[in-house]
Amino acid sequence: MILFAAFSSRAEDPLPKESVRFDGRTLVLASQGDNPGEHVKEYIPADQKLDSWTQLASIRDYPKLDDPKTLASNLVRMLKAQNPQAPSRMIQNPTTGDVIVDFVTWNENGAFAEFNVFRYAKKPGGGLVAQQYAVRDYKDVRAFLKNLAPLRNRLVDLMAKDGLVPGK
C-alpha cells in the first residue's frame, strides 16, 4: 500500500538544489508536481532513489483549504480505508490549531513498513501547508515495528516543535 505517489519533474527540467533538514538529516528535492488543489515537493537523502528511499520528507501546499483538522481527518480516513489495521494518532495544538497525524503502514506483501508524521498548519496569507516526514524499512519489518516507539515519540516531538527546516 502506498498512500502517496511520487511526482517526477521531466528529465529535461533539472530540479533546483533545494533541501530540508529534519532529525539531523538533510534531504534534497527529488520530485515535485501538482494534483488538483495541491502542490507537492518530495525530498530524500542525496544517495537514495524515490523507489527505494528510507527517509522521505514532503511539503504539500493547499492554497484553497483553510482547516488543518479537516485535512488531517481526511488523511486518517484514507489510511483506514486502504489499511484498516494501520495504527494512527491525531493531535491538535489548541493554541495554534496545527494538527499532527502519525501512523504506521505497510504494503500488501509485507516487503516494507513505514512510519509517517504529518503536520498540518495554516499559512500566513491563506491556505494550508502539510509537512511530512517518513521512515521506511525494507529489511526487518518486524524489528522495525517492535522498536518503533522511541523513534515515533522523537519524530512527533520534532515535527510539533520545529517541523521541516529549509536547507541552506
Q: Which tens digits make up the pLDDT trace of 148-166?
A: 999 999 999 999 999 999 9
Q: Does domain 19-166 have CATH number 2.60.120?
A: no
Q: Which tens digits make up the pLDDT trace of 27-54?
A: 999 999 998 899 999 999 999 999 999 9
For residue 13, give the C-alpha cell: 527540467
pLDDT band at 131 (very low <50, low <70, confident <90, very high): very high
- The reported pTM is 0.88
Q: Exposed (0-12), middle (13-18) or buried (19+): which is 129, by Cβ within 10 Å?
A: buried
- Average pLDDT of every residue of the chain: 90
Q: Cell numbers 480516513 label which residue?
A: 77
For residue 154, give the C-alpha cell: 522523537
Contacts for 59 with CB less than 8 Å, ≥ 6 apart: 20, 40, 41, 43, 129, 130, 131, 132, 164
Domain boundaries, the chain: 19-166
Q: Based on DSSP, count helices (H) and strands (E) in the chain, helices before strands.
A: 3, 9
